[in-house]
Structure 1
Amino acid sequence: SEVVRAYADLGYRVPGSEVHLVLSGAADQLGVVGPTPIELTRLDERSIYTWPQTTRNRAGTIVLNGKFEVAPTWKLQGNLYVRRFAQTHVDGNAGDFEACSAQSSFGGQLCLQDDAFGTPPGGKTRAFRDQFVILGPKGATVPFLPGTPYGTIDQTRTGATTVGASLQGTNTDRLLGLSNSLTLGASIDHSDISFSSGSTLGFIYPDLFVGTNPAVPGTGIGPIRTLGNLGFAPVDLSAANTYFGLYGTDTVDLSDRLSFSFGGRLNLARVEAQDASGTAPELNGIHDFIRFNPFAGPAFRLTPDVSVYAGYSESNRVPTPLELSCSDRTHPCLLANALVADPPLKQVVSHTYETGLRGEREIAPGMRFDGKIGLYRTDSEDDIIALASAIQGRGFYANVPDTRRQGIDAAGRFRSGPWLLYANYAFVDATFRFTELLPSPNNPAADVNGNVLVHPGDRLPLVPRHQFKAGVDYAVTPRWEVSSEIVALSSQFFDGDQSNQNAPLPAYWVANVHTSYQVTEQIQLFADIRNLLNKRYATYGTFFEPSAVANAVPVPFSDPRTSTLAQPLSIYAGIRVTW
């Protein structure tokens, strides 16, 4: 991997006012290691499943922000910004190809497997089978060679330019003789997005590299598509998002010990998509969303050091252009990037209830403790989740009726002279709240149609119930600091195991160490040791079709589980220079 970052902040301050111009930029190129079959990593933890897998990102931001005291009880703050982001991604994948049926018009040519698309009411007619023939850029078919390990090299390109502004005013005039803090604000954000994707036919070599093979006709041609634009279809699309927000909050002190906060935010959004190729007008669409989200809650000071609070709030999340344009099971996308024409998704609406305690206390001169503990429940309607397709490397998004996330958050910090000790714990009970069949075609517990039955109380995949982090920082001298931390997570279900019928990813814990030395005000030396004890564990897991590369490897896979292993013991050292 290669990473380059730059940051600059130019500020001007006078009594009551402050303005900053902030510029930042970043560029990176990553050789990504995706989920790898467990059978491969058992033999060699450095194994990569179907490569190349590379991502290149470029980003830059310019922000102008300011704070102004316009009157003794009025303060204004605002910002203007422009952000540019560009990404290119190349991903080698196994191909779900077969010989076209003799009952089609293209017998003996290369076709996409049609098993994932079911049987239409009229049966698998010639017209239905013809949809799956693979075509090159000029519409030519590709001859099928039996026993050939076909794959694809999938590429996506994304560019986004975002501009936005916000303005917020705060007033502290008394209300009916009571201390009061009123905040009013507005924001606008607009993004113009360009996106293209396509797939090149490839050959999977024994080392699982996907590339061109001169001996195999058709490899190297692209972008490929199917006659019916099912599964494979090049995309060239422009999209635009516009978000408006109006909000207000007020906190009034009803007494020396009791305060009450309330307010709300009005969100308006428009998401537009426009086919840029001129050949796919079905991609065109305009989606509008509107939602008012209220909140309210009291806070009561039990003692001078401890307060109890409670609250209710609502929030919404508008579907992204990707989610809106990739929500059809029969038109899966190159997740997480490709776009096709699909039914619109609903916005996600969440209701949160919370209560807890927080406080701080000086235990002795130079010794201070602060902490908090809270209970919460968030019920989400029409939650959006990513679901797998039977076509390798592809998936789609869908609304599900209800999900719930509830739990406990606790945190504490202790300071004494050069020492800082801290600990954080979270219990997260994240569950589905409905009964429904969801597609998970590579899940070994799936039925004959590739579905799993989800029941209320089944846990959301990839959400560990227990998360713990603790650490200690020590200032050896005013210039030299050392710190260490331990992070622990409990088990979590594989992505695609919504019904919780398979063994989860094991729990793990990891230790890290950091040190830094401030040579001058502008120059800092630092060193990091990640995974100090070289623990071997996986941070992600999902399923794949073991037979997808059966023709490419000497011993076919039999275990459908894949995982992404965490980085081993790693040591970093460097110098930071600011000016």
Structure 2
Amino acid sequence: MQYLPCRAHHRPLALAALIACGPALHAQTSPATTLQTVEVVGTTPLPGTGVPKDQIPSNVQTADGQRLRQLQSLNLPEFMASQLASVNINETQGNPFQMDVNYRGFTASPLLGTPQGLSVYLDGVRVNEPFGDVVNWDMIPSGALANVALLPGSNPLFGLNTLGGALVLQTKSGDTHPGGELEVRGGSFGRVSTEFSYGKKLGEHGHLFAALGSFDEDGWRAHSPSRVRQLFVKGGEHAPDYSWDLSLLHGQSRLIGNGLLPESMLAQDRAQIYTRPDQTRNRVTMLSLNATRQFGNGFELASTVYARRVRASTVNGDLNDDYDPPDTPESGVENRTRTKERSEGLALQLSKTAGAHRLSVGLSYDRARNDFEQSEAEGVLDATRAVVVTEDAETNALIAGTSRTASVFMSDIVTLAPGLNLTLSGRYNDTRVRTDDLGRSTLGLDTTLDGEGRFKKFNPAAGLTWRLTPALTAFGGFSQGNRAPSPIELGCSDPDNACVLPNALQGDPPLKQVVARTLEAGLRGSIGTDMRWNASVFRTENRDDLLFISNGRSAGYFTNFGRTQRQGVELGVSQHTSAVDWRLSYSHLRATFESSACILAAANSSAGTSTACAGADEIEVRPGNRLPGLPAHSLKLTIDAPLLPDWRVGAQLAAYSSQFVRGNENNAHQPDGVDFFGAGKVGGFALVNLTTSWQFGAGWELFAKVSNVFDRRHSSGGLLAESAFDSRGNLLAPAEWRNEQFSAPGAPRALWIGGRWRFGASE
């Protein structure tokens, strides 16, 4: 993906990051003239010549690093939630780096067990981890990001897992972002973060860029400290007829995510936790090489090669489901996992511009090997609900998983007439997934985890853009994408042997690949020289969707579910003037099941009442029932204005309607205050953030942010499950455990203050 350079001495018009398909132009100003240049967006993951944004037949949303800095966002999920249309987050883990990011009803999440439907690319490399297609947001260096693009739909050019959209990230280079920057900020929750970056042009064509990031906080909930360390280095050459860059990404983190909390405990103390510890450690190293070469006559060759290594471990202190004194006095169990992932890949793309055609053909090959070990040790819960281990740990799963995907793809953008462009594309994917049960063969475990699957699919796409007038463009298109089951999903698909994700695997029946088809149409345009607007409708249907069905006790299984559907409307308008910059967007989403099925949901009051379901703990899901975790309505407003030449203030509003919680997929749960508690949904809420910045001296800036200004108590998601504690967190006798709603509490009001020093940009 390639954008126009955004050099430090330019003053580009703010990109419409809040609304879909905002302004198609950057404005570059000087005292004497105003020069407009066309913004281009890459339509494939590989680097190379982009496509003018107004010729893309969907509501693509873009932002640059300057916009992320202006909003003072901690990380990419926080920025997307506050600024991008049709995006909401579920704070299921209660950690700012472990959010579920939902876009048009599809999710990119760091948590195994969450159905993944968005692909994420960093400099042409897909960073969804092969073991479960999860996305580790803590391993994306936000301080090194130059551009962000969110492309909607089941775009086949972005390969596997692009069911609802692709998030494409491009990092900074020394020639496009020269000079240094040091930023330090701190405040609420004991948070201290530091970022340092420096870019420099080397000689006539060379460039070098480096970024360091550090984050530490105590967390606003009990026993919730976390830390993140990031390093990014990139160097290469940008010459008129060729370019290349080699980058190294390394990150380490220790994240505490204490998860959901029963509403009875939430009412008593929102900072409480259920059980602990819930710790994730990540260590990622990635080396990638991107290169392009122009050969004349309109030919361009682009390539990407990468190697990625991931080590992850988890320690989860959980309630022991078998606790039953005095026969089983162990009230807790500590589940541990260790995962090693090694992945490599390459992609080649040949493009040619000839007459009315911009044709690209390419191929890619990706492979990965995953080693996974799970163990558990029983113990007792202490007064803080931490597991104190009293028995030796036992390994109960040891597997090796492999996956290989070979793809061939093509795209042709045809200019049918001035202002009228047709886009045709397609991709053929051939994926092999295999799991080998090393626990049975080497340790004698009673497991049956061997499995193998091969998934083939050709996915087409077609779209049309028509510039009706200089100020009005119509667009529409169809696209199809697919996702093959990952090794973790193949190893956890038996409803009779639920998995304590991410900590266990069981024997599995075969799973099918997911196929998504999207239709989208809309209008976008401008009013005058400084206002942009857009309106679009979309519909995506998934067949054989992969869902994780919880049994209400931190366990569950993956299964295919007939059909699901996401459809909706996006509206947006923005204006940029010297006096004010404002953006407004509204999204309506109707995400529903479109097939009937019986799923496990023991904590739902309607469990066992359907004649169509045989199990006493099952509920019947019917067509039209809404998917959990997704609000139907969302509204976002951002205003930023200079009060003085060097002093700016801003406000951001994000409002969401209510949503059903997991375990209430049939939307039929009704609390009775005796056996069942909780409404089966979390209420709507609105959050307001305030930002301000003051530039003084040569390159110096002070800034501050207040989040959740009105200290709104809210929850961004939830689950129906069985609670073993009273409202003060005291362990109850098993006979007193009750079915209750667990919720994901949002953070209270917080204040952060920081300083930034920029230097050396003119070198």
TM-score range, shorter chain: 0.7 to 0.9
1:22 aligned partner = 247
Change over 3 Å in CA distance of 1:449–1:190 after alignment to 2: same
Taking the aligned partners of 2:730 and 2:634, their CA distance within structure 1 comes to: 42
The counterpart of 1:565, out of the listed 730, 740, 745, is 745
Q: Is the 8 A contact 2:603 2:739 kept in 1?
A: no
Change over 3 Å in CA distance of 1:395–1:354 after alignment to 2: same
Taking the aligned partners of 1:88 and 1:207, their CA distance within structure 2 comes to: 23
Deviation (angstroms), 1:477:
7.2
Deviation (angstroms), 1:483:
3.2
The counterpart of 2:605, out of the listed 444, 466, 484, is 444
Taking the aligned partners of 2:346 and 2:369, their CA distance within structure 1 comes to: 15
Deviation (angstroms), 1:418:
5.7
Taking the aligned partners of 2:402 and 2:647, their CA distance within structure 1 comes to: 48
Structure 1 window deviating more from structure 2 (552-561 vs 247-256): it is 552-561
Q: Which residue identity does 1:498 align to in structure 2?
A: E
Taking the aligned partners of 2:694 and 2:426, their CA distance within structure 1 comes to: 46
1:162 aligned partner = 343
Deviation (angstroms), 1:94:
1.3
Larger RCO: 1 or 2 (CA < 8 Å, sep 6+): 2
Taking the aligned partners of 2:580 and 2:295, their CA distance within structure 1 comes to: 41
Q: Secondary structure at the residue paired with 1:323?
A: helix
Taking the aligned partners of 1:276 and 1:511, their CA distance within structure 2 comes to: 51
Q: Is the 8 A contact 2:256 2:278 kept in 1?
A: yes
Deviation by residue 1:440-478 (Cα, 9 ceiling, x = unmatched): 122233116111111110001111111222212335678
Deviation (angstroms), 1:535:
1.1
2:511 aligned partner = 345
Residue correspondences, number:
511
Q: Is the 8 A contact 2:345 2:367 kept in 1?
A: yes
Deviation (angstroms), 1:28:
1.7
1:171 aligned partner = 352
The counterpart of 1:323, out of the listed 489, 497, 500, is 489
Of structures 1 and 2, the larger Rg is shown by 1
Q: Is the 8 A contact 1:22 1:63 kept in 2?
A: yes
Change over 3 Å in CA distance of 1:418–1:270 after alignment to 2: farther
Taking the aligned partners of 1:350 and 1:316, their CA distance within structure 2 comes to: 6
Taking the aligned partners of 2:704 and 2:668, their CA distance within structure 1 comes to: 43
The counterpart of 2:551, out of the listed 370, 377, 389, is 389
TM-score (norm 1): 0.82
Deviation (angstroms), 1:529:
2.5
> Following superposition of structure 1 onto structure 2, how do residues 268-347 of structure 1 map, counting pairs within 5 Å?
268-277=430-439, 278=442, 279=444, 282-347=448-513
> Following superposition of structure 1 onto structure 2, how do residues 490-529 of structure 1 map, counting pairs within 5 Å?
490-502=657-669, 503=679, 504-516=681-693, 526-529=703-706
Q: Which residue identity does 1:533 align to in structure 2?
A: F
Taking the aligned partners of 1:544 and 1:85, their CA distance within structure 2 comes to: 32
Deviation by residue 1:329-385 (Cα, 9 ceiling, x = unmatched): 111112245322211210001111111112235x1xxx4122322111111110010
Q: Is 1:412 matched up with 2:583?
A: no
1:468 aligned partner = 635
Q: Secondary structure at the residue paired with 2:417?
A: coil
Taking the aligned partners of 1:276 and 1:528, their CA distance within structure 2 comes to: 51
Q: Which residue identity does 2:545 align to in structure 1?
A: D
Deviation (angstroms), 1:153:
0.9
The counterpart of 1:354, out of the listed 513, 517, 520, is 520
Q: Secondary structure at the residue paired with 2:469?
A: coil
Taking the aligned partners of 2:248 and 2:358, their CA distance within structure 1 comes to: 32
Deviation (angstroms), 1:558:
4.1
Q: Which residue identity does 1:487 align to in structure 2?
A: A
The counterpart of 2:562, out of the listed 401, 404, 410, is 401
Deviation by residue 1:101-121 (Cα, 9 ceiling, x = unmatched): xxxxxxxxxxxxxxxxxxxxx
TM-score (norm 2): 0.63
Q: Is the 8 A contact 2:434 2:453 kept in 1?
A: yes
Change over 3 Å in CA distance of 1:235–1:522 after alignment to 2: farther
Deviation by residue 1:290-322 (Cα, 9 ceiling, x = unmatched): 100011122222212211112111111111111
1:37 aligned partner = 262
Deviation by residue 1:112-155 (Cα, 9 ceiling, x = unmatched): xxxxxxxxxxxxxxxxxxxxxxxxxxxxxxxx724836221111
Q: Secondary structure at the residue paired with 2:379?
A: strand
Q: Which residue identity does 1:274 align to in structure 2?
A: D
RMSD: 2.6
Q: Which residue identity does 1:242 align to in structure 2?
A: R
Deviation (angstroms), 1:220:
2.6
Change over 3 Å in CA distance of 1:352–1:333 after alignment to 2: same
Taking the aligned partners of 1:480 and 1:15, their CA distance within structure 2 comes to: 40
Structure 1 window deviating more from structure 2 (200-209 vs 38-47): it is 200-209
Q: Secondary structure at the residue paired with 2:495?
A: coil
Change over 3 Å in CA distance of 1:269–1:180 after alignment to 2: same
Deviation (angstroms), 1:547:
4.5
Taking the aligned partners of 2:372 and 2:699, their CA distance within structure 1 comes to: 41
Deviation by residue 1:239-287 (Cα, 9 ceiling, x = unmatched): 1121222111112121124222212111111112122332357322221
Taking the aligned partners of 2:398 and 2:697, their CA distance within structure 1 comes to: 51
Change over 3 Å in CA distance of 1:73–1:314 after alignment to 2: same
Q: Is the 8 A contact 1:39 1:557 kept in 2?
A: no
Taking the aligned partners of 1:276 and 1:518, their CA distance within structure 2 comes to: 60
Deviation (angstroms), 1:206:
4.1
Change over 3 Å in CA distance of 1:577–1:25 after alignment to 2: farther
Taking the aligned partners of 1:276 and 1:524, their CA distance within structure 2 comes to: 56
Structure 1 window deviating more from structure 2 (195-204 vs 525-534): it is 525-534
Q: Is the 8 A contact 2:724 2:731 kept in 1?
A: no
Change over 3 Å in CA distance of 1:309–1:476 after alignment to 2: same
Change over 3 Å in CA distance of 1:238–1:475 after alignment to 2: farther
1:184 aligned partner = 361
Q: Secondary structure at the residue paired with 2:713?
A: coil
Taking the aligned partners of 2:641 and 2:626, their CA distance within structure 1 comes to: 39
